[in-house]
Every structure is written in C-alpha cells, then in structure tokens.
Structure 1
Amino acid sequence: MDTDLQNFDAASAIAAIRDARPPATDRFTYLTIVEANLIVDVLPTLNEILQDAELTQEIGWDLVFNLVNLPGSEACLETIARLGNPREVILKVLETLELLNVDRGDDDDDETQPDRPPSRIPQPSVPKEKKFVTLLGMLAILHKRLKTKFPSRFVAQTLETVYATYRPTREMTAAVINLVHSLSGRRRPALPSRKSSVNVADPERDGDESKNAPDPEAEVSKADENPDEAALQERMLLSFVTCVLEAYTTENEMGWAARLLEFYEPTKLVPGRKTLMGAFKEEQQLLERDAVVGNLAALIRDLGLDSCSRDFLEQIMKGPITNNPLSAVDSATSLEDIPLSAGGCVLLIAYWVFSATLFDADQPTPDINILPDHYNLLEKFLQDDAEGQIQNSPAVTEALVAIGLWLQANGHISSAGSEPQPNLITSADDPTSDFMRYIHLVTLIALYHPQLHVRNAASMLASSILHADPSEEDRLRIIYDLLENCTFASLKACAVTWLREEMLAASTKDSKPSSTVFATTQAFETLQYVLFPSLDTLAELDVSDLLEYMAQNAVFLLQSANFGLLLWLSADRWTNVLPANADATVRERWFQPLSGAVYRLRETLGSGADLAGGEEGALGPLKADLDVLADRLSRLGEAEGFKIAEEAERA
C-alpha cells in the first residue's frame, strides 16, 4: 500500500480530489481522499475547490495541519482562513502550533515529531519557522472575522499559545508584530530600518476583507460589541508584547550597558579596538537586533504605553514579579487582572534611555533617582537569589545596569539632593548607608553576570556611585567593608581601584590636605591591614594549596601591588598619606611572604612538575598572572621607600 501511494502521479491525485468533491461523496469521505492525495502538485486545484465557502466551512479546519507541512500551501491556508468557520479554524491553528512544538533550540526536522499524524504520501519538509509565520498570518485574518460578545477570550487563548511556541528569531518576531498590529486594529507607517533588512509586514497585507466570508456563528454586529472589550484586548496585547520583548532580548544580546558606557567614557576606549557601538552600526545581524527591538518598542507605544509615568514606575517597583503574566490573561475580566512582564517593562525603560542617548530619539525617560528608586528596582529583582536571578535573566539585569548608568550620567543620584541626608531606604539607626546597600547590589551583577562587558559596566556604575557619596567617611567605610568582608578577589580589586581614585582626586584638590581623610594618614591607617594583609601562612602551604590560593586571589594581589607602586615609586607625593614605618610593616607582613610564594610557584611551574589537577592549558593564565605579579613586586622592591625599610631592617 505504501509503495502504491508513493507512486501516485500528480495527474491521478488532481483527478481524485476534483472528481470526488461533494456531492459525489460525503464530506468525511472527501476529506479522507484529499488527505490521501495531498501533494504539492494538487495545491492549485485544491485552492480552486476551497473557494466553495460551504465546503471549506465543513472541511477546511481539518486540513490545516497537513497543509502547513506542505511547501507552497500558503494560498490554500489563506482561503481556509477567509472562508472557513473562524472558531473552528482558530482552534485548529492553535492546536497545530502546539503540535509543531516550536520550542527554543528545536531543529527543523519534523520527521522525529511523535505528535505528528502519519501522512499517506511522503511530503517535503517545511521549516518550523515558516510554519509559525504562516499560521500567525491565518490568525490575523481569522480574528478579524469573529463576531462574538467576548472576543478577548479568543485573543487570550491565541496569545498564550503563540507565546508558548514563539522563538526569538527575526522572522518569528516580525510575524508576532504583524499579528499584534492586526489584532489591535492600529495602523502606523513603517519605521526607518537603520540600514536593516528587517521588515515588519503591513497589516493591510492581511488582504481585502471583502474576500472574507461572514462569521456563520456571529453573535453580535460591529455596533453591538462591548466597549470594554477593546480596552481588555489592548491590555492583553500589551502584556503579550512586553513578554516578547523580554524573550527576544534574553536570546539576542543588545549590549545597551556597554554601549552607554562607551558613549559616556570615550577616553577609556582602547585605540584601534572595535567598539560595540561600532559593531552595532556595521554588522548586519546586530543592526537587525536594534531594528527588531525598535519595532517592539514602537508597538508598545501604539498599545498605549507611551509615557514613563510615576504610576507605571511604581507598578514595576512595588508590584509582584509574575513569572508568566500571560497565564492570567485567559481568566481576566478587568484590566487590573492582566499584569505586564516586569522584566519586559524594565527592558522597555532601558531601551527608552538608551535610544534617547545614542540615537537622539524622542523617547519618554524616567523621573527617578539612583536612591531610592533604582535601588528599589535592583532589590526587587535580586533580593531572593541574586546569582540565580542574574544568570536566569541576564537581559533584565543588563537593562538595570543601563538605567543606572543613565541616571548617574544625568545626575539623578538622590531624591534628597547632594547634601548628606537621613537614609531613604534604611532606618535611621541602621549603620549601613544607602550608598553601601546600593553598591552591594550592583557589585553582585559585576560578580555574577555571564557577559564580561556587563560586569565591567556594573563595576563602573558602582565606582561612580561610590565617588558620588557625599560622605567621605561613608566612602572609606564602603571600601573597608569590601576589603574586609568580601570573599571575591575581583570585587576586592575593585575596592583597591576605588581607593586609588579617591586618593588621586584628594591629592589634586585645591583644598588643604587635612580637609579630607583620603589626603591624610587616616585612610591608609584604616585600610592597611585589609589592603596589605599578613601573608605569613603562605610559607606553610604545599604547592597545590598555594596554586589554588594564587588562582583565587591573583587579581586582588596584583591590584594591591599596583597600588603599592603608586605610593612608593613617588613617595614624596604621599608624605601626608603614608604613616610612619608603613613601608617597613608592609614589607614584612605582605611583600616578603608574597614574593617568596610567587618565586616558589614560578620555580615549580617552570620545572614542569606534575601538579594534581593542573593541566598545562589551565595553568597558562595563572602563569601569566604570576609573571606580571613578579614584575610588579620586583619594581616595588626597588622603590626608594622599600629600600629604606630594607636598609633599616639590615641595620
């Protein structure tokens, strides 16, 4: 039987579906004959037959799945969407979307799908992305044809299913945008492409509505539709698009924080190295990402979210984070029942401030400050499980950093002004300052975010906010807290950098040195035992343990050595900063044991000794770090201040 079906010629198949059409057979028999002869060659003939609206209303919905798997079937599916029973066809389209199982990471091979009904004749493969786009085109037509008292119920089911099967590709996102345009009934001119090839289909291409058959089960006329339904559907669509925005940016890195940092700090760019701003202007794939997000943001504005009002901001900062906002859409009876994606809203604000800055776009911007507003946003998204939240929502986390960079660059630091004020986010008797709490949250992003450029941007944001703290005692306390209590070397290295920046800034001020703790011995006396801790125990470690210690702490040790070079290579400049005998104590407790440990490790690694768990490739970066650290320590040992200490020890 299978062999006979495979040898069916096109002429026989065409004759079969033409000759058997009702009334020659009943509709159930005819449907079986069509399915048995469904090959590419019969599609033009089948489309002619489907122009019979009565027949299409009876069998059209049952052909959707098999047709969408057949190349070139778009015309037939459009006819079914225009002439079939819209309720039945919508349900079949949604069922087909679910059966297609268009999951993230799926390939386009449908032969292994267990849910696919068996075909009578082998059929060519259709990419899943193409099927998704075709089915969404059908939904755009079908929903326009519905005449029901509660169209939002059909819209809710459609949005849930579409989102469950959506993958954040360019083509699928364009199809989603077209569907939302159609469901909302809004029209807008095409957006400038910014050199992108991304095109969002014009909803008018849903075709001439005069070709559509009336809804055979119509419950209401256009004039009798419930006026509350329009607002309810618009809110559903808005919730849906915020979810799509979050999904798209999660899978497609946008680099907003890094690009803002490049814009704000052009002097820190490495000459000759390509920037992210440059890449997004030149590389087609990146251009298309900007264009897609721009289209999503424009669609959100079309749906009524066109201002960054205080009410909108309060909802994000104080409302719950709903993991699946669309799950509430199906049972919603009022606008308040339909939440937006909290992450999608944060991403929208980040896009607004980003595009207003880099593209000079006319976008709404938030009237908020670092303290307390941005802190509240950070705490909302990071308070329960910071590492897990950052890893699971990297796009939202980057958006939070981008918003913070914009606020800092525009001077929106504190709602209480620049002068020291009572805490805005902590109680009056809480010794932890607002700035310390804020910097703690930002440094968590600098520690855990999977993207290096986001970690760097978060570090720069934390640095800027530290230096903006009007209390120098608080700045010193924050640096001390990181050096004393943080277990991560990268963050301790940041604290050393901040200390260096504070001391350099204090040394260049016109005011008297005694007017700031960073221009006196107070800062060094407070920090010296956490900045240059005693390392005597390194001599007691075996090589494997010493190797592990260096791998974990090299970045901090190197930064401390660099700081030591700053102090003792130009000791005359820092006479007001360095306490008496600071060089001798640092040499004894920190410099000498560290130098001995670095020498011992380099000798061991250079000899090619077999270290437990130490593969040559894995040890490469550590060898490089040890070489740099050895160079810095050698230069520090030759500094005049250290020579004086050494001579004093010998005497």
Structure 2
Amino acid sequence: MADVSKAIEALKEARPPATDKFTYLTIIEANLIPEVLPTLNEILQDAELTQELGWDLIYNLVNMPESEACLETIARLGNPREVILKVLETLEILDSDDGYQSDDEGDKKPESDPTATPTLEQKFITLLGMLAILHKRIKTKYPSRFLAQTLQTILRVYRPEQQMTASVINLVHSLSIRKRPTLPTRKSSVNVANPDQDGDAYKNAPDPEADRDGKDEEDPSEGAIQQKMLLSFVTCVLEAYVNGNDVAWAARLLEFYNPERMVPGKQTLMAAFRENQELQARDSIVGQLVALTKDLGPLEPKLLVHQLCNGTINSDPLRDVDEIPNPDDIPLSTGGCTCLVAYWVFSSTLFDADEPTPDMHVFPEHFAILDKFLQDDAEGQINRSLGTIQALVAIGLWLQANDRISSAPNSSATKNTAAVDDPTSDYMAYLHLLTLIAVYHPQLHVRNAASSLAGLVLHADPADDDRLRILYDLLENCMFASLKACAITWLREELIAAAPKEANGTKPPANIFAGPQALETVQYVVFPSMAFLKELDAPQELVDYLVDQSQFLVQAVNFGLFLWTSADKWKHVLPANLDATVKERWFEPLRDAISKLDVKQGGSDEYGQLDFDVSVLRERMALLEQAVGFRASEGSEKA
C-alpha cells in the first residue's frame, strides 16, 4: 500500500509545470501500476497535457488491466492524428508480439479476475473502440486518407474471432453515414464494449490541428469515398470470417432441399444451428456484417454478379485505396462478395429473409465464377478459402433447386471454353470444377454437397449421350476412387430415371439409358479386368490397391447387386452375357485376391480402415454371389 501511495504522490507532484513533459512521461511509466490508473485518468482530464503526451502512453496502458478508462480519455482529449498513428502502431506490434492468441486459444481472462493481463483479443477491442472515437474527431479536407490507413492495418491484424468481429462491426457502425436502428439483442449475439456509442461524446476535445478559417472544410466527395472504403472493408471482413468459421451453408441447404435423406434420430446441421449458442452466434455475426453492407451500399445485385463473373479476383482491395479519388474505383473483395451472394440465397431460403435475388444461372455465371477461383492451383485455393468455396457450392445448390441451369434454355450453356464445338464441354468442365471441391475440401459436409451438386447438374444436361460421355470419362480417367464411386451412383440414377414408372405405366422420354447401350459402353470401366491382381508380387501391393480403390470397388459391387438381384426389372438395360463376362474378368480375380489377404496385422489406422473396407467388400461380394450366382454361367458349372 505504501508503494501505491508513493506512486500516486509522484504522479501528482511531478505534474507539469513542475517537470517538463518528457520527464513526466518517464515518471508515469516508472509508476504505472493498476492501482494508480484512477489517479492517472483524473490527471489526463487536462486536455492540453493529454494532447502533449497521451499518445505515448497507449502501448503501456493497453497491456495493463483496467486501463480502458484512461485510453478512452486519451481518445477523447488527445491529438486525434497522433493518437490514431500510435494506436495503429500498437496494433501492429501487438499482432507480432509472441504470435497471436485469442480468448478461445487459452490465457483467457476470467470474469472473476478483472486484474488479469488482457489478451490480445481484448487489446484489439479496446484499440478499435478508441479508433471509433478518434476518426469522428478529425476535421480535415480528406479524412479518408486517415481512414484508409486504419482499415488496412485492422485487416492485417484482424482474426475471425467472435469478439474481434463484433468490435469491427461496432467501428464500422460508428463511422458509417447511414445507420439503421440497433436491432434487439438475441441470446446468440456477441456484444463487446463500444465507448463511442456508450460514452459521452460531449467530452471530446476539438481537433487541435483543424483549420479555423474553414480552408480545410471536408471535401464534398468525402462522404461517398469513406462509405465505399467501409463497404470494401466489410466485404474483406465477411470473407475472412466465413473462411475462418464453418457456417455450413451448403450442407444446410442440402438438408433443406432433401429432408427425406436425413437419418432418423441423427441431429441435422439445421437443428444444430438452431440449438447451439456458439453456432447461433456465427449466424448472428454474419447477419450483422451483411446488414452493414446494406447500410454502406446499396449494392446492385446485377452489377455485383457481373463483377464477380468478369472482374479479376481481388483479395486485397484496400491496398491502394488511399490513392483513389473516385468512390466507383474502390473495389470490393471478390471472395466477400461471393459470400454475400451465398448469404442472400441461403437466408432467403432457410429463414425466408427479404434478401436480393441474384440474376444468375449455373451457365454461364456460376461456371465463370467457379472457373475464376479454381483454374489455377485448385487445391491451394480451396484450402486457403474454405468458406468462399463452400459459398460457391451453396449458390450452385440454390441455382439448381430453382431450375436456373442455363440462361439460354435452347443452348448447351455458355460457349466460352476452348472446345466450343463440343456440346459436353461446358457441363464436363463445370463438373470437373465441382469434383475438385469434392476431393480437396477438408470438410466432409462440403465435399458431400459438392458431389451432390455435381450429380444434380449432370442429370440436368439435356443431352443423354453427353451425360453418358461424362460418366465414361469420369470412370475411365478420374484418379480418385471416391469420384468414380459417385459416377456409378449417378449411372444408377440415370437408369432409374429412364425406366418406366410402375405406378401409372408411363414412360419417360426415350434416351440412351433406357436400353443396353449405356451399360455396353461403360461396362469395362465400371467392372474393369482384375487379372492384374494375380501378377502382384507382394501382399503390400494388394494392400495399397485396396486402400486406394475400396470406395470404388464397394460401389461397383453394390451396382452389381442393383442390376442382378432385380434382373427381371433391369433386363431391358443388360447387354447379353454381361453377368458372365463380369464374373470372369472382374469378380473372380478380385474375390481370389482378397481371400488370400489377411489384413488383421498391426494396429495402425491404415490397416484398421483396410480391415473394415475389406470386410465390407467381402460381405457385399458374398451377397452378390449368393443372390445372383451369375446366372449365365450357372448352367455350364452344373454341366
């Protein structure tokens, strides 16, 4: 207690003019402990003193618990230009100090211990609260030049955490010209301190560097420039937040469109986002960011779609914004705009929200945007932009569900690819892009949604021979077993769609899948020769093959069961002697190879998964052999 008293006494006695400002600053720093902060805040009420040295206290104060009142005083009374620069410098330093650690990652400040050292997330929130006050105090002809530097710095430091994003929303709302009333707080909302809104603006000192003769009166174009800067900033934050937080738009849309496919008793993602507070907060944060785009816009949906289709990808739109004099020349984040369109279609579908309807189709608009994102280094782009890529899948699902396949119904989509004379070129190229997502996206529900969308668009191709060529190409040339398994599923769906409907005896339009030609074409890629398995020199080679191809092999067996356990139903699509040739070239070599393999070795995940896959494959092959007996060869065997 004696040390605290001495520290307080030193601050009071050394106050200028007793000492010069540099000496006094040194004395403050030497005696800066949490207990003296109320006294320091009283001293900082001297606007002249705070303008002289307040900016130099920011870094030390922000690292100290319970310093928010002092920092707010500095924001209201200090020289706003100098304080802004120091706040931005402090943000940069804090971001580089020992790496970034948020409240969610540890070192969390307990609610019962307000004296704990602030986390970097809490410091970020405090500094953004200061910036909201400071930028409204600056009186100059071109305040956008200060704003540009602030927004660029925040984006470099920002991490897509709930609290940090809420503080960004507060900042933008404070600086926006057009403001909507604050919405009622939901239990899922994330709230952080907002001194600009909650504090007393009458305490703000005038800008000491403002020109009193009116020469520096704000330029008439400044309002529009700042609004567009903030809009660009929000699209960047939206992109970063969706990339950093799984919002499950694609998977939830898929559940909404296909409720019959939900597993009874298993919680759906739609239910999870309704019931889980953490997931609710994600929807709430995204909704607030989208609401900001309306405050800062308005954005014309048709123009936005045109820019997405025809503009280049812009991931850092604020990089040169301080040199741009015209609001129309300030770009937006391409990924952020993609997420915005996805939110429009998602929320209008699941929540019946009043959002704009984008004027776009799978061909040419969605195809063009997909191609733009994935044409170079698809795997890297997908892993760098998980949320943006999921947003693209969600948009595609909405387009397909609303019969928006082509903007030119009588054409085979767009003709902007190299193979303009190939009627399958657009569908095949589009499906190739979706299958890249189905392979490389690390989130299973996004891979499933991309695969589902690919199948739906394939079936929407009006030319049956095109659909067969695409299936054959996938089965013959695709290196991924999971996608070849999907191709078999899509082949089965084509056969089912082309079959007569039993309920009323009606027949769908005749196509290549209604007779044996389709299976005649693809039989050697669905059931390829397995004779090479006999030539493998080591058991490990067989293990490697089964690890790589198990999904495809199981799906091929299931397809055989589909065909031959209801042979009377599908006899119209079975080529002559297909079962006999499949048995000889595919079934028997595969069965014999597997029978010689003992996978119950070691405890590694690889062998554990292989044991499961081989067990399933053995079981399904036994069912096929038992149920079918490969009828075409039965007679010869008995003879």
1:55 aligns with 2:54: no
1:16 partner SS: helix
CA–CA distance in structure 1, aligned partners of residues 230 and 50 of structure 2: 30
Alignment partner, residue 583 of structure 1: 579
Match of 2:524 in 1: 529
CA distance in 2, matches of 1:399, 1:291: 17
Write out per-residue CA displacement over residues 233-289 of structure 1, whole angstroms, 9 at most, x where no aligned residue. Answer: 111111111111111111111000000000000000000001111111111110111
**SS of 1:23 mapped into structure 2:** coil
> What residue is the counterpart of 1:626 in the other structure?
614
Mapped contact 1:196–1:284 kept (Cα < 8 A): yes
Equivalence for 1:115:
none
Q: Does 1:107 align with 2:101?
A: yes
User: C-alpha displacement at 1:512, in angstroms?
Assistant: 5.4
Q: Which of 306, 312, 321 is 2:304 aligned to?
A: 312
> How do residues 353-502 of structure 1 correspond to structure 2 at under 5 angstroms?
353-417=345-409, 419=410, 421=412, 423-426=414-417, 428-430=420-422, 432-502=424-494
Give the match for residue 623 of structure 2. 635
Cα 1:422–1:294 change in 2 (3 A) is closer
TM superposition outliers: structure 1 runs of 4+ over 4 Å? 102-105, 200-204, 220-223, 419-423, 509-514
1:230 has 2:223 as partner: yes
- Asked whether the equivalents of residues 328 and 337 of structure 1 are also in contact (C-alpha less than 8 Å), the reply is no
Q: CA deviation at 1:649?
A: 5.1
Measured in 1, the distance between the counterparts of 2:574 and 2:307 equals 51
Tell me how far 1:463 sits from its aligned partner.
0.8
One-letter amino acid of the structure 2 residue matched with residue 188 of structure 1? R
SS class of match (1:326): coil
Alpha-carbon distance in structure 2 between the residues aligned to 1:449 and 1:222: 56
What does residue 110 of structure 2 align with? none
Please give the alpha-carbon distance, in whole angstroms, between the structure 1 residues aligned to 2:550 and 2:97: 43
> Could you tell me how far 1:194 is from its partner in structure 2?
4.7
**TM-score, normalised by the number of residues in structure 1:** 0.92
Letter in 2 for 1:95: E
| 513 and 53 in structure 1: CA distance in 2 versus 1, 3 angstrom threshold | closer
Question: 1:196 is matched with which residue?
Answer: 188
- Separation (CA, whole Å) in 1 of partners of 2:466 and 2:204: 70
Against the structure 1 CA distance between its residues 631 and 103, is the aligned structure 2 distance closer, same or farther, given a 3 Å change threshold?
A: farther
Counterpart of 2:125, as a letter, is V
Q: Deviation of residue 231 (structure 1)?
A: 1.1
Distance 2:185 2:135 in 1: 29
Q: Does 1:277 align with 2:270?
A: yes
Query: Do the aligned partners of residues 231 and 103 (structure 1) sit closer, same or farther apart at CA in structure 2, a change above 3 Å counting?
Result: farther
Paired residues of 1:483 and 1:530 also in contact (CA < 8 A): yes
CA distance in structure 2 between the partners assigned to 1:329 and 1:491 by the alignment? 44
Task: Give the counterpart letter for 1:583 in structure 2.
Answer: D
Retained in 2: the 8 A contact 1:483–1:531?
yes
Candidates 196, 207, 216, aligned match of 2:208: 216
Q: Map 1:157-172; keep pairs closer than 5 Å.
A: 157-172=149-164
Deviates more, 1:149-158 or 1:182-191: 182-191
Q: Distance in 2 between matches of 1:44 and 1:195?
A: 34
Q: Aligned pair 1:507/2:499, yes or no?
A: yes
User: Could you tell me whether the CA contact under 8 Å between 1:513 and 1:519 is conserved in 2?
Assistant: no
Deviation of 1:130 after TM superposition, in Å, equals 1.2
Amino acid across the alignment from 2:286: V
| Alpha-carbon shift at residue 106 of structure 1 (Å) | 2.0
Mapped pair 1:181 → 2:161: no
Of 133, 148, 159, the match for 2:140: 148
Cα distance, 1:27 vs structure 2: 1.2
Q: Structure 2 regions of 5+ residues with no counterpart?
A: 104-114
Q: 1:416-471: per-residue Cα shift (whole Å, max 9, x none)?
A: 12x45475434542354321211111111111110000000001101111111111
Give % identity: 62
Alpha-carbon distance, 1:64 to partner: 1.0
Q: Encode CA deviations 1:353-384: one digit per residue, 9 max, x unaligned.
A: 11111111111121100111100010000001
Q: Does 1:14 align with 2:8?
A: yes
Look up the match of 1:302: 295
Q: Which residue number in structure 1 is paired with residue 108 of structure 2?
A: none
Partner SS for 2:630: helix
Structure 1 residues 174, 647: CA separation in 2 closer, same or farther (over 3 Å shift)? same
Residues 364 and 407 in structure 2, CA contact (< 8 A), matched pair in contact too:
yes
Decide which of 560, 563, 566 is 1:564's aligned counterpart: 560
SS of equivalent residue, structure 2 residue 180 = coil
Displacement of 1:195 after TM fit? 3.3
Letter in 2 for 1:171: Q
- Is the Cα–Cα contact under 8 Å of residues 239 and 388 in structure 2 kept in the other structure? yes
Between the two proteins, the alignment pairs up a number of residues equal to 622
Q: Report the alpha carbon displacement of residue 25 of structure 1 after superposing the two structures with TM.
A: 1.1
Which residue is equivalent to 1:255?
248
Q: Does 1:69 align with 2:60?
A: no
Residues of 1 paired with 2:259 and 2:595: CA distance?
39
**Of the candidates 531, 540, 543, which is equivalent to residue 547 of structure 1?**
543
Q: Aligned partner of 2:234: which letter?
A: V
Spell out, residue by residue over 1:596-638, the C-alpha distance to the aligned partner (whole angstroms, 9 max, x if none). Answer: 112112xx224x4xxxxx6443211111111111111112112
Aligned mates of 2:393, 2:244 — CA distance in 1: 18
Q: Give the superposition deviation at 1:540.
A: 1.2
Q: Contact 2:94–2:120 at 8 Å: present in 1 too?
A: yes
**Cα separation, 2, equivalents of 1:82 and 1:435:** 60
CA deviations over 1:78-117 (Å, ceiling 9, x no partner):
11111111111111111111111168962379xxxxxxxx
Contact 1:378–1:400 (Cα < 8 Å) also in 2: yes
Structure 1 distance, partners of 2:381, 2:491, is: 30
User: 334-343 or 446-455: which moved more?
Assistant: 334-343
Q: Give the conservation status (yes or no) of the 8 Å contact 2:390–2:446.
A: yes
Alpha-carbon RMSD across the aligned residues, in angstroms, is 2.1
C-alpha distance in 2, partners of 1:30/1:431?
79
**Distance apart, 1:230 and its partner CA:** 1.2
Aligned partner letter, 2:526: L
Letter in 2 for 1:250: N
Q: Which moved more, 1:509-518 or 1:85-94?
A: 509-518
Q: Contact 1:147–1:222 (CA<8 Å) still a contact in 2?
A: no
Aligned mates of 1:131, 1:222 — CA distance in 2: 37
Once residues 107 and 318 of structure 1 are traced to their aligned partners in structure 2, the CA distance between those partners, rounded to angstroms, is 39
Q: Residues 450-508 of structure 1, C-alpha deviation per residue, up to 9 Å, x if partnerless?
A: 00000000011011111111111111111111001111110000000001011111113
Q: Structure 1's 204 and 23: CA in aligned 2 closer, same or farther, altered over 3 A?
A: closer
- Cα gap change, 1:421/1:91 in structure 2, threshold over 3 Å: closer, same or farther? closer
Quote how far apart the aligned CAs of 1:315 are: 1.0
Give the corresponding residue for 1:138.
130
Is the 1:569–1:639 Cα contact (8 Å) retained in structure 2? yes
User: What is the CA–CA distance in structure 1 between the aligned matches of 2:328 and 2:352, rounded to whole Å?
Assistant: 34
